[in-house]
Amino acid sequence: MSGLEQRTEVYVIAATNRLDRLDKAFLRPGRMDKIIYVGLPSPEGRVEILKALTKVSINYVTAHRIL
């Protein structure tokens, strides 16, 4: 990122669902050197995510009823 002093202990993490829409200058070497694809979770994975997110909820709707 232009204007930042070079420090080895500074990390920048970004996320997007539209990599194709980013300005190519953002992806130049030395800026964002690693791109990691994280796909959609499986149906079972979605249930586990819903369970984790609703664990402390007082709502008693189960994840399977939502799906």
Of 5, 1, 7, 3, nearest to 33 (Cα)?
1
9 to each of 1, 3, 25, 56, how far by Cα in Å? 14, 16, 23, 35
Q: What is the pLDDT of residue 32?
A: 83
Contacts of 63 (CB under 8 A, 6+ apart): 46, 47, 50, 51, 54
Q: What is the pLDDT of residue 63?
A: 63
Q: What is the pLDDT of residue 3?
A: 62
Q: What is the pLDDT of residue 65?
A: 67
pLDDT digits (tens, 9 = 90+) for 5-56: 666 777 888 899 898 998 989 888 888 888 899 999 999 999 999 888 877 6
Q: What is the pTM of this model?
A: 0.48
Phi, psi of 29 (to 5 degrees): -55, 135
Q: What is the pLDDT of residue 43?
A: 94
